[in-house]
Structure 1
Amino acid sequence: MLKGYINSLSEGNKERTTKVNFNIAVSFILRAVSIVVSFLTISFSLKLLDTNKYGVWLAISSTVSWISILDIGLANGLRNKIAEYLAVKNYEEAKIAVSSTYAILFIIVVPILLLFAVFLKFANWNSIFNTKLNERELLLTVATVFIGLLMQFFLKPISSILQGDQKIYKANLIQLLCNFIPLIPIICFSKYVRGSMFALAIAQTILPVFVLIVYTLVLFQTQYSRIKPSLKQVNLAKSKSLFGLSFAFFIVQIAGVFLYSTTELIITREFGGSDVTLFNLLFKYFSTTGLILSIILATYWSAFTNAFALNDFTWIRASIRKLVKIACLLLAVTLVQLLLVVPVFKLWVGDKIHVPFTLSVILVIYFSITLFTSVFSMVLNGMGKVKVQAIVSLITAILHIPVVLFFIRHFHWGLNSLVYASALWALIQVFVWRKEINSVLKLEEKAPEEELVNSELVFNTK
């Protein structure tokens, strides 16, 4: 019914725009529920653990999140290739890409798991996270988080396939279930097993694995049976274009995960676990506008891939202008968030957290810049032009820790130091990404014209 209504709104538009509108409408509903579930999970997790222990939990989960980069960008590369192959109904190449992706992920997962099993026994986790917690509980928590995220990492191509097929709403439904199912046991744990990080780790990292397994099996038996992975279809030689694109995505991805995971580790070591909780909650609060934008951008990614493959540059330029206007509207929402930050935090977590005004203002500036960074980055991702992104992201990742520590130890800016550095990188990226988009579009628009002129010259000569 909703799809029919969206179609009526988009009457006269192309099929691509209709798909984008439908995905946005359904995804907003699913992601809105997902955000509510996420905030409830944080609230009950804080009842399960105290602020210091919750800060350590955040440091563990964010540090182990580097697992997501081990796919060397295959998830994003697969997403783009699936969009290209399905657009021209090339199911054979799509099947090869899917099969090769799962094969590579399996080859990565097995040795990593074995290496971690050896490292787990000899590592001093209290020293790594600068804590004095129960050694056994800390070890079990780290092991559970690692195994759970590693399994999720292996199973995530199903979401990339849905995204490439412009069925973003189905990928969001999977994410919603992965967020919602852990909430039920967390509520129970907050009443009966308070203080257990291990219980929280089981709920948040192991339960989502079962959701992904069920969805993967069902989808490959039904609507994606034609591209179901097969050992016979694993062909790394024929998948060179997939891996070339994937490696560029990998560089961007590793830089992003590095910045995210080191942030909470730096705070833990420099300021303590309680400040990790403060920073994380403020970051989540102000990132909600970015989440809203990401719902819209996620639906456009594969649509840009489709449009670029078909040389529909008029649609691309019009869509970029539309997305920039949306980013401007969300910037105004971020300013409203700043005005409401204190009452919202009192309602959300009570008097446990004191909200520093200066840190809130700096975070607003940072997230306002990232709204536009996200738009331009997604356009380049959709067009498969990731080389410049990879270079700039790698440079900023290398500079991040030295710059943050310099701000902390020489200027004594405290937690603000992390946001100052991140805002600087985001500002640089806005200008570089925008310039790269203009260069790519001018070059691609010029190419068909040159081909037409050359064909006319050949015709006239004959």
Structure 2
Amino acid sequence: MSEIKNIFIKIRWYLNKGNNRSKQLKKSLVSCLIIKIISVAISLLMIPMCINYINAEQYGIWLTLSTIVLWLGFFDIGLANGLRNKFAEAKAKGDTRLAKEYVSTTFFILSLIFGATWVIFMVLNRYIDWNVFFHISIKGTELNSLFSIIITYFCLQNIFKILSTVLLADQKPGWSSFFDMLGQLFALIIIWVMMQLIPGSLLKLGITLCFVPLVVWVIANFFFFKGSYKAYSPSIKSINKARIKDILNLGVKFFIIQIACVIQFQTANFIIAHFFSAVEVTNYNIVYKYFNVLAMTFTIFLSPFWSAITDAWTLKDMSWIKNTTQKYVIIATAFNICGLIMLIVAPVVIRFWVGKEIAGNIDNILLVLCYIYVAITLYTTLFVNILNGMGILRTQYILALISPIIYIAITYIFIDKFNLGTYSIYIALIASNINGFIAPFQYYKLIRKHHIKTNVNNVCIQN
């Protein structure tokens, strides 16, 4: 017992070591890590449970439809990320009124954008024949009804998750992760109950996976904006047109970058469903989600880092940025070593996870390509997050106009000319990630420039 007590004492000492920014960062990491472990476990349980409740083909349809609608999240024209930086800057300067104006203005604009988006897509959905797209035959309008449910969920989510942006900007990602996890947990429990009582239905599965997490976020908004975040609660009086320009200056650049990310990282399900089958979508996603455990867990460590960088950059604390980045590079390397072990044991783990029948359709080449992609992504995501926190987006913005074209071209060539199937997706993702390869060089150039400037200033002071 005394040894365990000593361990907790050492952990507590470590968490309280350093300046306020470092202490907040470490405490956020610990809380996010615990919550994310639970979230990963839930998401891993969710896949076989959903497949068993319906089937692999219908689950592939759900994944494809939800991915398509997920693109709607980027119709916010980068406002969420613009708010994240501007809120963090206002908080660092102690300007509560300015922070409230940013929140209120963003909430208002997002409500207009996603209200209009919902109306447009609800009308368009009446004229789409999803059976033709998926090369299947499901009686009635079940797929159109499912699409309507998903559209409604994502539009409302993108409005109410402004709270998530505020929590991230305030270096409290643990709360944001907690509400995401809570929504997943309740959905998992309800699906398990449905498996015992109700016959499998794609529509019922969609309703559960959409509206249960949404209810959690609505309740969270009520408690936070009426409680500890009352000072930042959205209000009509605090809407300020002048703040729109501030947010959009960053937001539009983030928007272009996000569109590029959608094309490069969110179209895989769509491409596979179109060129191959819904079953292949499921196979691809099983491999992706297996290795994505690494990326998801690493994201835990990155969640508070973005806004901490904004705070440090605003206060010109470059030494903190440099020292903390070095620690993150070590963490990314450790994660990649874990990924290599995951690759070795993948066939056994996946067979145990989803069953022999589905695991038999997944080959080793797909596993290797996915690991390489995720391993590279860990490093590139780190440096992209640093530049995002600094608000240095010009190079990302330019490359975002080029990389999607390269991705689409490589994907088409490898599918159509070389017949490499789903391998083509990962090859294209790796080759087109130009921004990810350049971001580290941008960061180290900034650090070197600051080091030279500091040395020059020190010489001038001595003279």
Query: SS of 2:266's equivalent?
Result: helix
Task: Read off the aligned partner of 2:26 and give its amino acid letter.
Answer: N
Among 342, 345, 350, which residue is 2:350 paired with? 345
Query: SS of 2:218's equivalent?
Result: helix
The yes-or-no answer on 1:74 pairing with 2:79 is: yes
Change in CA separation of 1:18 and 1:7 when aligned onto 2, cut-off 3 Å: farther
Alignment of 1:4-43 (within 5 A): 6=11, 8-10=13-15, 12-43=17-48
Conservation of the 8 A alpha-carbon contact between 2:407 and 2:431: no
Q: CA deviation at 1:442?
A: 4.4
Which residue does the alignment assign to 2:383? 376
Question: Aligned partners of 1:8, 1:348: CA distance in 2, in Å?
Answer: 39
Question: Aligned partners of 1:340, 1:448: CA distance in 2, in Å?
Answer: 49
Which residue does the alignment assign to 2:420? 413
Q: CA deviation at 1:299?
A: 1.8
What is the TM-score when the length of structure 2 is the normalising length?
Answer: 0.93
Which residue does the alignment assign to 2:312? 307
Question: Aligned partners of 1:436, 1:264: CA distance in 2, in Å?
Answer: 32
Task: Read off the aligned partner of 2:218 and give its amino acid letter.
Answer: I
Change in CA separation of 1:389 and 1:272 when aligned onto 2, cut-off 3 Å: same
Change in CA separation of 1:12 and 1:285 when aligned onto 2, cut-off 3 Å: closer
Question: Aligned partners of 2:229, 2:100: CA distance in 1, in Å?
Answer: 9
Note the alpha carbon deviations across 1:336-368, whole angstroms, 9 max, x for none.
011111111121111121220111111111111
Unaligned runs of 5+ in 1: none
Task: Read off the aligned partner of 1:304 and give its amino acid letter.
Answer: I
Among 97, 101, 105, which residue is 2:110 paired with? 105
Among 298, 302, 315, which residue is 2:303 paired with? 298
Task: Read off the aligned partner of 2:164 and give its amino acid letter.
Answer: S
Q: CA deviation at 1:241?
A: 2.1
Which residue does the alignment assign to 2:364? 357
Which residue does the alignment assign to 1:323? 328
Conservation of the 8 A alpha-carbon contact between 1:49 and 1:195: yes
Question: Aligned partners of 1:12, 1:274: CA distance in 2, in Å?
Answer: 51
Conservation of the 8 A alpha-carbon contact between 1:130 and 1:268: no
- What is the alpha-carbon root mean square deviation over aligned residues? 2.2
Question: Aligned partners of 1:341, 1:210: CA distance in 2, in Å?
Answer: 36
The yes-or-no answer on 1:367 pairing with 2:390 is: no
Conservation of the 8 A alpha-carbon contact between 2:82 and 2:248: yes
The yes-or-no answer on 1:403 pairing with 2:410 is: yes
Conservation of the 8 A alpha-carbon contact between 1:166 and 1:302: yes
Note the alpha carbon deviations across 1:259-316, whole angstroms, 9 max, x for none.
2332111111111111110000100001111111110011211111111111111111
Query: SS of 1:89's equivalent?
Result: coil
The yes-or-no answer on 1:435 pairing with 2:415 is: no
Conservation of the 8 A alpha-carbon contact between 1:96 and 1:239: no
Conservation of the 8 A alpha-carbon contact between 1:49 and 1:197: yes
Which residue does the alignment assign to 1:266? 271
Moved more, 182-191 or 196-205: 182-191
Change in CA separation of 1:129 and 1:260 when aligned onto 2, cut-off 3 Å: farther
Question: Aligned partners of 2:158, 2:168: CA distance in 1, in Å?
Answer: 16
Question: Aligned partners of 1:444, 1:267: CA distance in 2, in Å?
Answer: 46
Q: CA deviation at 1:257?
A: 2.1
Aligned length: 455
Q: CA deviation at 1:163?
A: 0.8
Which residue does the alignment assign to 1:225? 230
Question: Aligned partners of 2:367, 2:115: CA distance in 1, in Å?
Answer: 43
Change in CA separation of 1:397 and 1:81 when aligned onto 2, cut-off 3 Å: same
Conservation of the 8 A alpha-carbon contact between 1:125 and 1:135: no
Query: SS of 1:126's equivalent?
Result: helix
Which residue does the alignment assign to 1:190? 195
Task: Read off the aligned partner of 1:327 and give its amino acid letter.
Answer: A
Task: Read off the aligned partner of 1:358 and give its amino acid letter.
Answer: I
Change in CA separation of 1:359 and 1:320 when aligned onto 2, cut-off 3 Å: same
Q: CA deviation at 1:322?
A: 1.0
What is the TM-score when the length of structure 1 is the normalising length?
Answer: 0.93
Unaligned runs of 5+ in 2: none
Which residue does the alignment assign to 2:99? 94
Q: CA deviation at 1:431?
A: 2.8
Q: CA deviation at 1:211?
A: 0.8
